[in-house]
Amino acid sequence: MSTTNTNTVATTIDQANADRAGAVVGYLPAGFPDVRTSIDAAVALAENGVDVIELGLPYSDPVMDGPVIQRAAEESLANGFRVAQVFDAVHEITERAGIPVLVMTYWNPVLRYGVDRFADDLVAAGAAGLITPDLIPDEATEWLTASERTGLDRVFLAAPSSTDARMRQAVESSRGFVYAVSTMGVTGARLGVDAAARTVVSRLRDAGVDRTCVGLGISTADQVAEVLDYADGAIVGSAFVRALADLGVTGAGQRAAELTAGAQRR
């Protein structure tokens, strides 16, 4: 199977940067608190200004995720979430929301499922591609091959600790955007977005990046505006997950409206 996504992450981010300050990427875990609610919540984010959905595949050892997202993933798994259900969720979200959906997953579930099979099922579901936080390009040969065959986006990470060589590798290997990690350690909303984010983005620009989005710690409209002053997109995760946990789908949608207002500022 070979295809090219028409509603791509790249074109969506470019359009957001042409229309306003930049793009907002919204993360939610699939299956939290149940599959139906996670789908409805993702659609609510899209209806309230989020440009790209990052749908997390719950995993038992989420080394990069903070406590809010960890708890959500644990609840999803405890409720019986299975890997195959992520494809059904992606399909319905893309059908209803009409925006690109990237699946964020640790690499082990993809290996267990089968890399080519996973890629083919992503395409069939209408997914844009994968964000792989614990996979480096050096070890991604099978995924690089599968994503070339299928036309799927592949988003690798760059961190403050990344060497210049790793930065270049992330730029050369990614398609869609490069995920700039703003702080060392796990994800989670923070009072201030680490100044290291600007340095990471600057280094990625020096390495020739076309698009980079900053994640880990963004929880206010002011922080969204701050990040979009120098990056192409702002990634919001824990703030949306907490809103969904506390206030349901409506609360998640309202939180999205509040945060995406930061993308209107130039």
pLDDT tens sequence across 21-31: 999 999 999 98
Listing DSSP states for 66-98 in one string gives: -HHHHHHHHHHHHTT--TTHHHHHHHHHHHHH-
* CB-based contact 172:129 (threshold 8 Å): no
The answer to whether 231 and 197 are in contact (CB under 8 A) is: yes
**Per-residue pLDDT, 1:** 30
The CATH number for 201's domain is 3.20.20.70
The percentage of residues in the chain with a pLDDT greater than 70, rounded to a whole number, is 86
pLDDT of residue 3: 38
Mean pLDDT of the chain: 89
Q: Which of 14, 34, 47, 54 is catalytic?
A: 54
Residue 151 and residue 31: Cα distance in Å, rounded?
A: 26
Q: What is the pLDDT of residue 5?
A: 42
Amino acid found at 244: L
Return the pLDDT at 63: 53
Q: How far from the centroid of its chain's Cα atoms is residue 255's Cα?
A: 17
CB 107 within 8 Å of CB 134:
yes
Structural domains counted in the chain: 1
Report the first-to-last Cα separation within the chain, whole angstroms: 42
- pLDDT tens column, 146-187: 999 999 999 999 999 999 999 999 999 999 999 998 764 444
Whether the predicted pLDDT of 81 surpasses 70: yes
pLDDT reading at 135 higher than 50: yes
In a domain, 46, yes or no: yes
Is residue 250 situated within a structural domain?
yes
Q: Does residue 4 lie within any of the structural domains?
A: no
253, 45 contact by CB (below 8 A): yes
1 in a structural domain: no
β partners of residue 52: 25
Catalytic annotation present for 65? yes
| Residue 66: predicted pLDDT | 65
Would the pLDDT of 198 be above 50?
Answer: yes
Q: Please say if the pLDDT value at position 4 is more than 50.
A: no
- Residues 31-41 pLDDT 10s: 889 999 999 99
Residue 240 lies in domain: 9-264
pTM score: 0.91
Q: Which of 14, 19, 34, 65 is catalytic?
A: 65
Question: Considering the domain boundaries, does residue 62 fall inside one?
Answer: yes
pLDDT at 193: 57
Is 64 strand, coil or helix? coil
Residues of the chain above pLDDT 90, percent: 76
| 172 catalytic residue (yes or no) | no
38 located within any domain? yes
Is residue 3 a part of any domain in this protein?
no
Rg of the Cα atoms in the chain: 16
